[in-house]
Amino acid sequence: MLARRSCRTVSVYRRGEWVRTYHDVSFGRNPGDKLYEGDRKTPLGLYRMVGRRRHPRWSRFILLDYPNLRDLERHRAAAAMGLAPRGPGSQIGIHGSDEPILNRGAVDWTYGCISLLDEDVRELYSEVPRGTLIWIEK
């Protein structure tokens, strides 16, 4: 999978072949690479889907392996320089939206997750297996 903040899309590939692209995607409220809990940024780089569950507010939640080793290393370095006032955070994933007007209006509103429309995240949830890699880029 490929999530592109600049295009506001999430594209799914199977064995290197394009399958589908989802539009009306929202990201963390602030641009840039996630560094610490509460910075409202979506992490950039390579992640793996490690869990899935239904969610009462966002329909479905697909958990990513944030923070990974790269994230922890970046956080440690930032904390040593006084640039990370809190821990690296956790519970970053892909979920639906209880405010679809924000997604359709190209508003980045999450605390760091990737938000799709409910119907899109339900489809993604059922079709993409645990362990799938996702590249998140600007």
Extended beta strands in 5-137, E state: 9-14, 17-22, 45-55, 59-64, 93-95, 114-115, 133-137
Q: Residue 65: give the domain boundaries.
A: 2-137
The total domain count for the chain is 1
Rounded to whole angstroms, how far apart are CA atoms 47 and 1?
A: 10
pLDDT per residue over 20-52, tens digit each?
999 999 999 999 999 999 999 999 999 999 999
Please tell me the pTM assigned to this model. Answer: 0.95
Q: Domain with 42 in it: what CATH number?
A: 2.40.440.10
pLDDT per residue over 71-123, tens digit each?
999 999 999 999 999 999 999 999 999 999 999 999 999 999 999 999 999 99
